């Protein structure tokens, strides 16, 4: 089934490059005693593009929180850049799931991005040199994501796609070696989805950082993703898109009849899972379908 | 408590006391501040207003204004209990609101969206406070003043405590300013960047409790929303930079307090009424301002997208331009719209161009501006006579990091066939340099276009100062040389 889709474009290696960014062995995730998934052995290489897929509540975001050091692993070991994860690591850029900003918020886009530079420091900024450096790195990050045109505008009035770019700039302002993106395409219109995923792909190619991107819908990032991690039913499975998104694999993960369909343009649809588990009589809805 | 009745009594007793304001501002202020209770009220009111304004901005950013309101109500129970036990009511407010805000801070995220719980605790503590007051056999005026403010009755000792508390709050706020701002705007990213958002949140709630206990003296428990939230809400709407927002918020709170104290001194109505009314009027004005400036923002957005003809705000040229464009468009035909687009890739993602992935340099969101300005005619370069922007139509007003070099935003001289705005100095009317409609309008226009809707208080201040200077010079001129008026009204300039 999945073999009909096109492979990753030439030049993007399907195997991890040397020097692992994230290494996990026997990793388990959960809050308190509740285990969401367990037994994960994988590593993410430097400069690799990994897409994390799975249904709601499967534990995709908790994986990111563990890498950020905001949540301790429920079991197993996790190493980030060869060390246990700790919060506040400037080598990691993080773009959380977008929340709606107050439309009245008049703070300029520049200042939002600038928080990524020195927002975690105590006190107020006093030295002129620090202010200049901050302005320079903010301008650089804004230029990298193509947000220069609205750098001075009120952030509350920007569109969802524009706000998403600002978050990306805020994450990139420290020149991270690993970029974590949590549902960057959710609640965006189709055009902004394409623009944002293209932007992430371009930046990944230019700056060479590793990307871990969590999404519901793989299709916008299918051409650029090196490997795919699918989390469902308490376990996970990692490999190239062709290897992972197959009917057999997904049926095993979900422990239910699931079909992965590839259409004539290479887009992947996963059919049957939520419809079968939740409402046996309702028509199947493709959760992987573009909205 | 010194009520307005006492002020009228004082007016009878003290020689030189004028019950109404004269028109000499300095003398009025001196007159007002000659009373110790007014000096105390101004000192305590200023100290608590600064803190309320600064904390209020973060209250609005963190969307915890309901929590602030609830804390003040819980503080009321503390005040009533303190009165019952014979302590200072403000001490009671401080103790109980600190406890309540500490509990709220610890609960933190779990309390978000739990309006019902907060509301019930608030109502229960109001009821408890009412019980304490009915148990208290002394003067019920005390309770009344907690509910609605008692700033004229403040003692000198309480003033010192208020100022000291303000200094502590300001010091802590300065220390946690950046992480607090980060956590207020984007808690998740702040945590990922190493900010202890939970601890910062608890610290902020404690600061808020102190600010509430101070502001209760001015506006009372029931009306605290006005002083604590309104300046912050106004600042959130109009200030682009966090520092400017804090300055606006604190400054507005102080201004509201001062004006209210002065008005209440000269009129028989209470301070908190003026505080709430001024705060409300200020908020309405800020909404009107942002609605008006929002139009300018959208215009800027269209121009930022590289559209060749920036739309000026004033009508005659705009109408003329539109007319020219539509004529030009009709002549060129619709097929030319995309091809003649000088704005570079992305700006003209019209229906004529093939569908493609937008490039990064050209933001797709900017390329399709909403609203009525998205007419195809506006993408056309205007005919040579009407074109105001630079040829090529690149981004006006160089941004930092912009590949396009910064060009001063000054259009070429207007065409001779268009009406020209007169300079402000030579305005019409008897006193030359009077600021009539035209003068003010021009000032507004000028400010707005050069800063694209951003708030710049200094030029506005300079504008006002210039006006006053011109007017006073003019008055002096007329006073010293009576015949000069003749010359002004005469047919031409006369040599002295």
The pLDDT of residue A282 = 37
User: What ipTM was estimated for this complex?
Assistant: 0.85
In a domain, A276, yes or no: no
Is the CB of A120 less than 8 angstroms away from the CB of B190? yes
Please provide the DSSP assignment of B186-232 as one string. Answer: -HHHHHHTT--HHHHHHHHHHHHHHHHHHHHHHHTTTTHHHHHHHHH
Both A253 and A194 in one domain: the answer is yes
Instruction: Give the pLDDT confidence of A72-88 residue by residue, as tens digits.
Output: 999 899 999 989 999 88
Is the CB of A146 less than 8 angstroms away from the CB of B361? yes
Query: Which B positions 349-378 lie with beta carbon below 8 A of chain A?
Result: 357-358, 360-366
Name chain B contacts of A102, Cβ cutoff 8 Å.
63, 236
CA distance A93 to chain B (A): 9
B392 DSSP 8-state letter: T
Both A77 and A26 in one domain: the answer is yes
Both A85 and A112 in one domain: the answer is no
CA distance A67 to chain B (A): 10
In a domain, A224, yes or no: yes
Rounded to whole angstroms, how far apart are CA atoms B360 and B30? 62
The residue in chain B having the minimum alpha-carbon distance to the alpha carbon of residue A90 is: B193
Both A147 and A181 in one domain: the answer is no
Query: Which B positions 389-428 lie with beta carbon below 8 A of chain A?
Result: 395, 399-403
User: Could you tell me the CATH number of the domain that includes residue A207?
Assistant: 3.40.50.300
The residue in chain B having the minimum alpha-carbon distance to the alpha carbon of residue A176 is: B193
Both A113 and A170 in one domain: the answer is yes
Residue A58 φ then ψ, to 5° = -80, -10
Instruction: Give the pLDDT confidence of B29-44 residue by residue, as tens digits.
Output: 888 899 999 999 999 9
Name chain A contacts of B305, Cβ cutoff 8 Å.
149
Is the CB of B182 less than 8 angstroms away from the CB of A198? no
What predicted TM-score, i.e. pTM, was given to this entire model? 0.69
A205 touching chain B per CB within 8 A: no
End-to-end CA gap in chain A: 23
Please count the other Cβ atoms lying within 10 Å of the Cβ belonging to residue B211: 32
Domain-ending residue, one of A175, A197, A216: A175
B302 touching chain A per CB within 8 A: no
The pLDDT profile of chain B, 496 residues, written as one tens digit per residue, is: 444 444 444 444 444 444 566 778 888 888 889 999 999 999 999 999 999 999 999 999 998 888 888 998 899 899 889 988 988 888 888 999 999 998 888 887 676 667 788 888 889 998 999 898 888 877 767 777 788 888 888 889 989 999 999 999 999 999 999 999 999 999 999 999 999 998 999 999 999 999 999 988 888 888 888 899 999 999 999 999 999 999 999 999 999 999 999 999 999 999 999 999 999 999 999 999 888 876 554 444 333 332 223 333 444 444 445 444 444 444 443 334 333 333 333 333 333 333 333 333 434 333 334 443 443 434 444 444 444 444 444 444 434 444 444 444 455 555 555 444 444 444 455 545 444 444 444 444 444 344 454 455 566 677 777 888 888 887 777 776 655 444 444 444 444 3
In a domain, A290, yes or no: no
Q: Pick from A105, A120, A202: which is nearest to B193 by CB?
A: A120
Both A45 and A167 in one domain: the answer is no
How many residue contacts between A and B have a Cβ separation below 8 Å?
160
Domain boundaries, given as residue ranges, for chain B = 4-14+32-296, 437-489
Is the CB of A151 less than 8 angstroms away from the CB of B176? no
Both A169 and A183 in one domain: the answer is no
Both A109 and A225 in one domain: the answer is no
The pLDDT of residue B410 = 52
Both A116 and A182 in one domain: the answer is no
What is the CATH class of B4-14+32-296? Answer: mainly alpha
Both A113 and A238 in one domain: the answer is no
Name chain B contacts of A192, Cβ cutoff 8 Å.
364-365
Is the CB of B365 less than 8 angstroms away from the CB of A139? no
B194 touching chain A per CB within 8 A: yes
In a domain, A9, yes or no: no
Structure tokens at B195: 């900010």
B193 touching chain A per CB within 8 A: yes
Both A26 and A84 in one domain: the answer is yes
Rounded to whole angstroms, how far apart are CA atoms B202 and B107? 9
The number of folded domains in chain A is 2
Rounded to whole angstroms, how far apart are CA atoms A75 and A30? 9
Both A82 and A205 in one domain: the answer is yes
In a domain, A286, yes or no: no
| Residue matched to tokens 């690993």 | A178
In a domain, A267, yes or no: no
B467 touching chain A per CB within 8 A: no
In a domain, A44, yes or no: yes
The pLDDT of residue B141 = 73
Q: Range of A191's domain?
A: 18-91+176-257
**Confidence band for A255, pLDDT divided at 50, 70 and 90:** confident
Query: Which A positions 71-110 lie with beta carbon below 8 A of chain B?
Result: 87-90, 92, 94-96, 102, 104-108
In a domain, A287, yes or no: no
The residue in chain B having the minimum alpha-carbon distance to the alpha carbon of residue A194 is: B357
Rounded to whole angstroms, how far apart are CA atoms A15 and A1? 22
């Amino acid at each position: 089934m999945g073999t009909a889709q096109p492979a990753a474009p030439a030049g993007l290696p399907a195997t991890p490059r040397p020097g692992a960014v994230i290494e996990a062995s026997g990793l388990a995730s959960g809050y308190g005693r509740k285990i969401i998934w367990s037994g994960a052995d994988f590593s993410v290489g430097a400069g690799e593009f990994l897409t994390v897929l799975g249904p709601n509540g499967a534990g995709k975001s908790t994986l990111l929180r563990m890498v950020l050091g905001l949540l301790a692993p429920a079991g197993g070991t996790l190493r980030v850049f060869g060390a246990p994860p700790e919060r506040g690591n400037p080598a990691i850029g993080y773009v959380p799931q977008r929340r709606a900003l107050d439309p009245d918020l008049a703070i300029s886009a520049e200042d939002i991005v600038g928080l990524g530079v020195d927002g975690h420091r105590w006190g107020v900024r006093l030295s002129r040199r620090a202010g200049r450096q901050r302005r320079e790195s903010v301008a650089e990050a804004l230029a990298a994501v193509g947000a220069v045109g609205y750098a001075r505008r009120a952030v509350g009035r920007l569109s969802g796609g524009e706000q998403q770019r600002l978050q990306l700039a805020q994450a990139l302002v420290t020149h991270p070696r690993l970029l974590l993106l949590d549902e960057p395409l959710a609640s965006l219109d189709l055009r902004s989805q394409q623009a944002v995923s293209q932007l992430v792909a371009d930046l990944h190619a230019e700056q060479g950082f590793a990307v871990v991107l969590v999404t519901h819908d793989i299709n916008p990032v299918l051409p650029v993703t090196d490997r795919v991690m699918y989390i469902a039913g308490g376990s996970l499975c990692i490999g190239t898109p062709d290897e992972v998104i197959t009917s057999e694999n997904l049926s095993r993960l979900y422990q239910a009849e699931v079909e992965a369909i590839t259409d004539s343009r290479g887009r992947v649809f996963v059919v049957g899972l939520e419809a079968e588990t939740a409402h046996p009589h309702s028509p199947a809805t493709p959760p992987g379908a573009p909205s | 408590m010194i009520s307005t009745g006492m002020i009228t009594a004082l007016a009878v007793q003290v020689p030189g006391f004028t019950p109404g304001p004269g028109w000499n501002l300095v003398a009025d202020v001196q007159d007002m501040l000659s009373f110790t209770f007014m000096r105390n009220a101004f000192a305590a009111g200023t100290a608590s207003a600064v803190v309320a304004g600064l904390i209020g901005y973060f209250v609005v950013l963190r969307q915890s204004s309901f929590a602030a309101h609830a804390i003040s109500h819980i503080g009321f129970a503390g005040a009533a209990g303190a009165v019952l036990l014979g302590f200072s009511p403000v001490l009671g407010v401080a103790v109980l609101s600190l406890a309540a805000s500490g509990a709220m801070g610890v609960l933190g995220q779990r309390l978000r969206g739990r309006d019902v719980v907060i509301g019930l605790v608030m109502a229960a503590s109001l009821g408890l406070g009412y019980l304490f007051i009915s148990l208290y056999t002394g003067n019920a005026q005390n309770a009344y003043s907690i509910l609605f403010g008692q700033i004229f009755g403040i003692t000198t000792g309480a003033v010192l405590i208020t100022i000291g508390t303000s200094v502590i709050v300001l010091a802590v706020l300065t220390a946690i300013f950046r992480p607090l701002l980060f956590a207020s705007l984007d808690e998740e990213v702040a945590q990922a960047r190493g900010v202890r958002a939970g601890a910062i949140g608890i610290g902020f709630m404690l600061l808020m409790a102190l600010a509430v206990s101070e502001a209760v003296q001015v506006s009372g428990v029931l009306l605290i929303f006005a002083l604590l939230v309104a300046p912050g809400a106004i600042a959130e709407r109009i200030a682009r930079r966090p520092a400017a927002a804090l300055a606006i918020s604190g400054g507005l709170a102080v201004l509201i307090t001062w004006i209210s104290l002065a008005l209440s001194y000269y009129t028989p109505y209470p301070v908190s009424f003026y505080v709430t009314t001024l705060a409300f009027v200020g908020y309405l004005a800020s909404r009107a301002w942002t609605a008006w400036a929002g139009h300018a923002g959208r215009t800027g957005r269209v121009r930022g997208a590289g559209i060749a003809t920036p739309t000026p705000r004033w009508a005659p040229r705009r109408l003329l331009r539109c007319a020219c464009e539509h004529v030009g468009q009709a002549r060129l035909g619709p097929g030319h719209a995309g091809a003649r687009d000088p704005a570079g890739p992305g700006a003209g993602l019209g229906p004529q161009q093939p569908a493609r992935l937008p490039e990064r340099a050209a933001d797709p969101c900017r390329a399709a501006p909403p609203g009525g300005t998205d007419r195809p005619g506006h993408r056309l370069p205007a005919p040579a006579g009407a074109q105001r922007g630079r040829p090529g139509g690149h981004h006006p007003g160089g941004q930092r990091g912009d590949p396009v070099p910064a060009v001063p935003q000054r259009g070429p001289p207007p065409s001779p066939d268009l009406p020209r705005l007169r300079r402000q100095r030579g305005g019409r009317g008897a006193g030359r340099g009077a600021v009539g409609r035209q003068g003010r309008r021009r000032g507004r226009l000028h400010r707005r276009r050069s800063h694209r809707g951003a708030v710049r208080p200094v030029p506005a201040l300079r504008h006002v100062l210039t006006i006053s200077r011109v007017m006073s010079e003019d008055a002096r001129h007329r006073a010293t040389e009576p015949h000069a008026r003749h010359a002004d009204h005469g047919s031409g300039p006369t040599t002295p």
